Homo-oligomer: A and B are copies of this chain.
Amino acid sequence: MEKDLEKVFNPTSIAMIGASNVPAKWGSFLLINLMAGGFPRDKIYPVNPREKEIHGLAAYPSVSALPVTPDLAFITTPAATVPGILVECADRGIMNLIVISSNFSEVGEEGARLERELVQTGHRLGLTIVGPNTMGIVSTRRKIFAVGAPVQLHPGDISFVSQSGNVGANMLGWTMNQGIGFGKFVGSGNEALLHAEDYIAYFGEDDETRIILAYLEGVDDGRGFIDIVSRISLRKPVIVLKSGRTDEGGKAAKSHTGSLAGSDHIYDAAFRQSGAIRAETSQDMLDLAKAFERLPLPPGDRLGIITLGGGWGVLATDATAMAGLTLARLDDNVMKVCDELLPPFWSHSNPVDLVGNIYMDTYLSILEAMATSPEIDAMVVLGSLGTGTIIGLNVLVSQNLIMEMSEDALKSFFTELKGRNIRLLTRAKELMRMYGKPIVFVEMQFIGEESLRELEAGETVIFTAPEKAAVILSRMLQYRLYLERKGAI
């Protein structure tokens, strides 16, 4: 059964049941985060029997006293009160609930009893319930930032369900820093009624979501999960970070969310069968998300590499072979272009080693020759972006030693450097569009996290270590091959 989560992620009005003025309480900072994110204050309805006003908003003593029927309610009151509140909500017509409250099945028998009661009440009244014990939700385009951590995400097309609130919230924080846009997030909590696969199904239908991420500790209904992911992954990549890969991790997962982890081999097979892309680590999941969002899928396994120096080329070649990709053959046209532009002792094979050549026109000509080559399916460009910085810094240091430089001169100098890089990235984007081959940049010269994000501009992919690029391209290729086998491409 497809669950209707439309109003969970796109409510126009929200009740906060258990809203509070006491700083350290969920009822306080959840409300604060929601307001800080820009959700219209006049559409937020705090409910608290003992307060007239909460953080500047008029408060209502009970659900029944609300002046309107909000689309969605958050509940942060003690566990024992939740079943009763669910009934009050249903009576008032509030059918979509996010139960933040903890102390349910995760803490012992009494909590488990309360959770069974919550499940029964939910089923009986036909409620849509997220949680309990959830970190909350984010819906960037609706300006809903209702999670425990004060995140303000860039809007984007990636949506994320996490079976761990803290893993989810921390990773949202990383995306802010890494310039990765986000659409929707939900911590699935104890999954009393709604399970990870229900959110995946919803994200699958959601036109605002192009990439789906899931952090999983365990799935109860394996068959249902496979069915849903198999269907969705034909249209959108589903990237999964599954913990409990080892027996020890499985036990830790069981003690954490009570999920029956099951053998990792079974999960691995299920992911392969359903087309899910498995991330190795938490950062790997975000790197994959960024690449799938911004790059075309490689049409084959033949990788072309351009490097500013031999050493990184060797490391990238190792990474290519270890990731199961092959080094592309350089065709006559690529050889001709390189022969014309590079010194006679150039590598004459892939990787194309520019041996420190720093002329942007050389770069662009070789980049284009390789992008148009029928022998090449994907490209990695190593060390090109920092070049300007190295030269620039050298010249600057030199300038400072031999003359005073005006602030204006300094500014225009850096503007020029940036322009140089933007020229390269813009051309790469055009080539990707024209030829449908991914081009991944790798920058080893430290030019600053912020500058890299600015250069990426949410449209290209720049990694800071060469070993990453091949691995990511290989995963994208695997997904493409899956789509081909299924006739979806």
Contact A313 B150 (CB under 8 A): no
Q: Which residues of B contact A310 (CB under 8 A)?
A: 164, 166, 252, 255-257
Which residues from 25 to 65 on chain A have a C-beta closer than 8 Å to any C-beta of chain B?
28-29, 32-33, 35-36, 55-56
Kindly state the separation between the CA atoms of A315 and B106 in the bound complex, as whole angstroms.
Answer: 18
Q: Which residues of B contact A176 (CB under 8 A)?
A: 446
Contact B397 A217 (CB under 8 A): no
Does A339 reach chain B (CB closer than 8 Å)? no
Does A312 reach chain B (CB closer than 8 Å)? yes
In the complex with contacts A150-B393, A150-B394, A281-B467, A311-B347 CB distance below 8 A: no
Contact B283 A314 (CB under 8 A): no
* Number of A residues, CB within 8 Å of B: 90
Residue of B nearest to A257 (CB): B310
Kindly state the separation between the CA atoms of A315 and B166 in the bound complex, as whole angstroms.
Answer: 12
Partner of A282, one of B164, B282, B343, B466: B466
Stretch at the interface among A205-213, A268-276, A319-327, A408-416: A319-327
Smallest CB separation, A246 vs chain B (Å): 4
Does A266 reach chain B (CB closer than 8 Å)? no
Residues 315-337 of chain A, each 1 if its beta carbon lies under 8 Å from chain B, else 0: 10110111000010000000000
Partner of A314, one of B33, B244, B466: B244
In the complex with contacts A252-B351, A315-B243, A166-B398 CB distance below 8 A: no
Residues 445-471 of chain A, each 1 if its beta carbon lies under 8 Å from chain B, else 0: 110010000000000000001110000
Does A131 reach chain B (CB closer than 8 Å)? no
Q: Which residues of B contact A164 (CB under 8 A)?
A: 309-312, 314
Q: Which residues of B contact A351 (CB under 8 A)?
A: 252
Kindly state the separation between the CA atoms of A401 and B150 in the bound complex, as whole angstroms.
Answer: 13
Kindly state the separation between the CA atoms of A150 and B395 in the bound complex, as whole angstroms.
Answer: 10
Most buried by B among A163, A344, A401, A446: A446
Does A349 reach chain B (CB closer than 8 Å)? yes
Contact B32 A401 (CB under 8 A): yes
Q: Which residues of B contact A465 (CB under 8 A)?
A: 281-283
Does A487 reach chain B (CB closer than 8 Å)? no
Copies in the complex: 2
Contact A245 B318 (CB under 8 A): yes
Kindly state the separation between the CA atoms of A243 and B171 in the bound complex, as whole angstroms.
Answer: 32
In the complex with contacts A247-B321, A282-B466, A321-B246, A311-B215 CB distance below 8 A: yes
Smallest CB separation, A267 vs chain B (Å): 12
Contact B282 A245 (CB under 8 A): no
Contact A467 B256 (CB under 8 A): no
Does A173 reach chain B (CB closer than 8 Å)? yes
Contact A394 B32 (CB under 8 A): yes
Contact B402 A170 (CB under 8 A): no
Kindly state the separation between the CA atoms of A156 and B390 in the bound complex, as whole angstroms.
Answer: 24
Kindly state the separation between the CA atoms of A35 and B397 in the bound complex, as whole angstroms.
Answer: 10
Does A308 reach chain B (CB closer than 8 Å)? yes
Does A291 reach chain B (CB closer than 8 Å)? no
Which residues from 366 to 405 on chain A have a C-beta closer than 8 Å to any C-beta of chain B?
383, 386, 390-391, 393-395, 397-398, 401-402
Which residues from 99 to 123 on chain A have a C-beta closer than 8 Å to any C-beta of chain B?
106-108, 111
Contact B150 A108 (CB under 8 A): no
14 new A-B pairs (CB below 8 Å) besides A23-B395, A150-B394, A167-B444?
Answer: A33-B397, A56-B401, A149-B390, A150-B390, A150-B393, A166-B311, A166-B356, A177-B446, A215-B311, A244-B318, A249-B317, A252-B314, A256-B353, A281-B315
